[in-house]
Amino acid sequence: MPVVRAEELTYAKIRALDMSRAVCFLPVSALEVHGPHLPLGMDFYMARWMAEETGRRFSERHPDWTTVQYPPLPLGTDELPLAGSMNVDQRTVYEGVKRHGESLARAGFRYVVVTNGHGGPRHASALEAACRKVSKKSSIQMFTPSVAALHGLVTGKRFDQVEALIERPLTEKEKAGLLAGEHAGAWETSFMLVQQPELIERDWQQLGLDRSPTFRPLKRAGETIIAACESLGRETHTLREVVDGVSGSIGWLLNAHYGYGGHTVSYQGDPSIASAEIGQAFREIMVRECLGYVERVTSGEMPATEVRSIASDAAIIQPYFFARMGIVAAVAAALLWF
């Protein structure tokens, strides 16, 4: 069979695999509160579905390859800190995925695809950094295409594809709702309306627009830096997205722990405009983009280290950033002292 489950393989079957024509999929996402209406496993379901559907389509196109599906790894950071979320620190995600990748490399795998349904900035950066590290250290092709694919959708860059798939223009209300932010909002609610609608609370259509409070001191500091960069003629679009994302994440953490910004925010976006037809389009675009990356990497057209998203751009959200800065500061202080 071209698609197999890792937990069902024997040692003899692993050794018999032609690793030059085998690709394994490893979903990595934790359980997290997704509003009052979606299940804790929202990101988990998405990561697993992307692995299974991308793997299935890859196998259909390449029957001479073996696709190995690994069990999902329930691990995540930057989870919303409300009762039910399962959160670990960023280093744990990075080290866990790196060590899984190293084990797969020792088993002989040359192609490893990590799928992910969680858009937390430091979670995504940990996955991408771990994949790059394993690819370089172990000389395999390990990559995670999920956030690169997700980013185009949640920023509205794929509206034309959505409209082609649903065979009608999106309404202005739908566009506004889909651009209003995403955590248990329109996109994810639409996904679950297709995946397992029975798990969604019945009053989801009564939920209006909501968003996390922005941590204003960081936002102001970021705007100052952006203005300075613009005055020098530099492109600031990516920097603005990072500032908005990080200040929003910090504001959300303070909201959950200390009530910063008012009422407790458990979702971001507008679930009320979700629909199964948008969910079908969302899923189709995601799997097409993920499959495209898998095709390019396995064909040798693109190295795994080049599969990266906005999560790999900002140094401040990378694993061990502050530890390294501490070492640099300590060395600088020692040099000044002596």
Average pLDDT over residues 196-204: 96
Nearest to 42 by CA among 213, 187, 229, 221: 187
| Domain ranges within the chain, ordered by starting residue | 3-204+273-325, 212-264
pLDDT of residue 241: 78
Task: Supply 310's token pair.
Answer: 């906005």
Q: Determine the 3-state secondary structure of 308 from DSSP.
A: coil
- Name which CATH class applies to 3-204+273-325: alpha beta
Handedness of CA 250, 184, 125, 235 (dihedral sign): negative
List the Cα angle 123/86/211 in 5-degree steps.
65
pLDDT tens digit string along 127-158?
999 999 999 999 999 999 999 999 999 999 99
pLDDT for res 1: 56
Section 43-71 average pLDDT: 97
Q: Is the dihedral of CA 25, 30, 32, 37 positive or negative?
A: positive
Find, among 46, 54, 69, the residue nearest to 194 by Cα.
46
Tens digit of each residue's pLDDT (9 = 90 or more) over 223-254:
899 888 988 888 888 788 778 878 888 888 89
Residue 29 has pLDDT above 90, yes or no: yes
Q: Considering the entire predicted model, what is its pTM?
A: 0.89
